Homo-oligomer: A and B are copies of this chain.
């Protein structure tokens, strides 16, 4: 074995391992010269304290795990970017787990992470329709956990969310002001809290303008591109809406494709607004009116919140909920 470790470095310098160790720690009593000598030699030999040994000894990993439903999505990649930045600044590393919206994977990941691999978890959940109680099974041993965006309301843990209700209300209102009378709401799973909250804004905005709520205009979509394509085309031809509000970005894309195929003109025949973090929304044909969530900032806030908890296990004086504000950006897809 030719790899370098603290013992070899100690021998090379005629010092003890404890002295070497001290050179790498800040608060230790150590002679300045000795420290420099050690660090110089360490650099020369490419020595770095073994991470696993340190972790084992110190019982922490300086690592946080990020669990997301999907990656090929502007929102989540931006959020991860934000998390990565804050983590890095704090000397932490991030592990990425993608559930593909599979509840079982989420459970497996979370269980697994409780083996000391991570000090904390940031998660956007996948299993709202399932049993969340598995998170309580860990009791006091549960890792610090922060939710963002998609959360379990019945689990008591800090969370970063956006003002979805308000945004949905305003989005619906915007469509109404632009002349829409039959507005369909496209959602991936309406029983999920994020779908529900966003839907409530839609319902209440309709009420404000005394537009009767029609159950059939709530279109429940799936995670499959092909299925959604069929569902949306059928909705467009059967329900004949003049406005569409989609709760997630990819349903807006699917709507665009469907309209291209069906020769429906956006915005003349149909106005479209969507939750989306797509940076090139202005380049779409037509440019897409969006409710834009501050994705990077959400990631940053989630990471900061987690670090607050990590720094401060005892003291519970930390916010339990951070609410960020989304912006409606009006573009041509809802023009007159």
A→B interface (CB under 8 Å):
2-4, 46, 48-53, 55-56, 61, 63, 71-74, 77-78, 80-81, 84-85, 93-98, 111-112, 114-117, 137-138, 140-141, 253, 256-257, 260, 279-280, 282-287
Contact = CB atoms under 8 A, between A and B. Distances in A.
Task: Specify how many copies of this chain sit in the oligomer.
Answer: 2
Give the 4 A-B residue pairs with the shortest CB-CB distance, closest first. A285-B285, A48-B115, A52-B55, A77-B77
B84 A77 contact: no
A56 B46 contact: no
Contact of A114 (B48, B61, B115): B48
Contacts of A287: 285
Nearest to A80: B71
Contacts of A282: 257, 260
Contacts of A53: 56, 116
B46 A52 contact: no
22 contacts: A46-B138, A50-B115, A51-B116, A52-B56, A52-B116, A53-B56, A53-B116, A56-B56, A71-B77, A72-B78, A72-B81, A77-B77, A84-B96, A84-B98, A93-B97, A93-B117, A96-B96, A253-B279, A253-B280, A260-B282, A280-B284, A285-B285
Contacts of A80: 71, 96
A159 to B, nearest CB: 23
A30 to B, nearest CB: 21
Nearest to A108: B88
Contacts of A81: 71-72, 98
A127 to B, nearest CB: 18
Contacts of A94: 95-96
A49 B280 contact: no
